[in-house]
Amino acid sequence: MASTSETNDRNISSNNGNTQNNNTPTTITVIKAVKDAASSSTSEANSSAATTASATISASSSNKPIPTTATTTNPTKNVPYTRSGDQGTSQLGTGERRSKTDDAFEAMGTVDELCSFVGVAHAYLLNSHRRKKNFYGALPVQLLDVMSRLFDVGSHVAKPPPATSDGSTVFVPNGIGDGFDADHVDDLEEWINEMTEDLPELTSFILPTGAPVSAALHVARTVCRRAERRVVPLVVHHKTCDPNALRYLNRLSDFLFVSARWVNYLEGQEEIEYKLDIYDGEDEDDRSDGRSENGSQDGGGGNEEQRGRVVRSLAAPSE
């Protein structure tokens, strides 16, 4: 059996042109790479040799072959960041840079948020155990169309038209963001009318409860109202947004509200109406904790029947 010193001698000798059978780098390899780096006459050679030495040290610790060249990882696909907005500005579709708090970006951001919430409602529909039975009719497809139209609104807001001498603006719904087609407003009204035919008359405010899809649609409805408010300055004051886009958002909130009720109707969920809290002149202490004189919880005193929840059972069609 060869001694340790003999083995080392053979390893040193093999470094003249041969490597070990298992390709395991040795201390001598590292030292040689460092010496080569020190004796190089250019900075480029120094950098390359130092990289080789570093790679050799790393490879020797994990028993991997010695890398022969230094590599730099560069992305091969488009990445979502540009770093151009790190100072709080962003670029419109016209190339103009503005503060991210500009009215246009406030509108675009809220419309984008709304689109995502509509997507949440759509996801609930797709994951419902009833989806395979076409239980929700055309609603999933309608929500997809709504999301596409919201992209249209965002694209339109991102391309404000140039200012004219008389302040007038002509919006052209050409599919590239220069306007918004009023036909989309008509589509929403048609869908609203179809669903309303199935629903009982609404005589009171209702709470945003019921099926998960319905609750998600109610959230989307409230975000839609905010998106509408963000677009108003662009239409009324700046005059850079097609009024049809504002009309669409106004009608869309109605569509989302009716859709929420319609889903509850399909699923046979109870529709819970808003309860008016009426007091009958009891002491302030009794009123604050909502308990009557005998200690029972009655919602704040007064006539219990008057304050009772109005719960309407929506009859669902047979599956």
Average pLDDT over residues 22-40: 51
Instruction: Give the CATH number of domain 100-272.
Output: 1.20.1200.10
- State pTM to two decimals: 0.67
- What are the start and end residues of each CATH 1.20.1200.10 domain in the chain? 100-272
List pLDDT tens digits, range 157-178. Answer: 999 988 777 778 889 999 888 9
List pLDDT tens digits, range 70-124. Answer: 555 667 788 888 898 999 999 999 899 999 999 999 999 999 999 999 999 999 9
Q: Give the residues across from 272 on adjacent strands.
A: 311
Q: Is 21 strand, coil or helix?
A: coil
Pairwise CA distance, residues 153 & 251, whole Å = 14
Other residues' Cβ atoms within 10 Å of the Cβ of residue 296: 9
125 band by pLDDT with thresholds 50, 70 and 90: very high
Kind plus residue range of the DSSP H or E element containing 89: strand 89-91
